Amino acid sequence: MSVPTSSAWTHAAAILSLGVLLAGCGEEAKTSPPRALTSVPADGALAQIYDSSCKLCHANPGAGAPLTGDANAWAPRVAQGSDTLLDHTINGYNGMPPMGLCMHCSEEQFLALIGFMSGQPLQ
């Protein structure tokens, strides 16, 4: 059995490196809607709650939460109705922590925040 020469190893390493580099070229980068990163509720109190309790997940594409302003991501959730959305917010659901990490928020504030993030006012 022969031992590969250093040029054979160099050639193999170059091919492997090229394969690794090209592996990520097949997909387009996912971008978050600009609103997810820049928008805040007009109401100052809601803006403060959004910034401290919601934004970490709802403006972070890697968090798995529907992004603020992403109508396509919010549509199936909004279709479930405000009672279901409120229940998921208060009790937690999948990765959503109970109370959305806002233990002092009222139901009205939660509905206003969900309406803001989804772009669809809720009642």
What CATH number did the domain enclosing 103 receive? 1.10.760.10
Domain assignment of residue 9, yes or no? no
Domain assignment of residue 77, yes or no? yes
Domain assignment of residue 102, yes or no? yes
DSSP 53-94: IIHHHHT-GGG-SPPTT-HHHHHHHHTT-HHHHHHHHHH-BT
**Coil, helix or strand for 96?**
strand
Burial class (CB in 10 A: 0-12, 13-18, 19+), 58: buried
pLDDT at res. 30: 58
Domain assignment of residue 72, yes or no? yes
Place of tokens 């160099």: 10
pLDDT at res. 5: 62
Torsion of CA 78, 82, 86, 87, to 10 degrees: -90
Mean pLDDT for all residues in the chain: 82
Domain assignment of residue 8, yes or no? no
Domain assignment of residue 13, yes or no? no
Give the residue-averaged pLDDT of 94-107. 95
**C-alpha distances in angstroms, 90 versus 6, 52, 87, 93, 113?**
63, 16, 5, 9, 13
Residues spanned by the domain of 109: 43-118
As a whole number of angstroms, the distance between CA 71 and CA 35 comes to 11
Domain assignment of residue 25, yes or no? no
Give the residue-averaged pLDDT of 98-114. 96
Inter-helix orientation angle 71-78/107-118, to 10°: 140
* Model confidence band, residue 1 (pLDDT cutoffs 50, 70, 90): low
For the cut 70, the answer to whether the pLDDT of residue 11 exceeds it is: no
Structural domain tally of the chain? 1
Domain assignment of residue 55, yes or no? yes
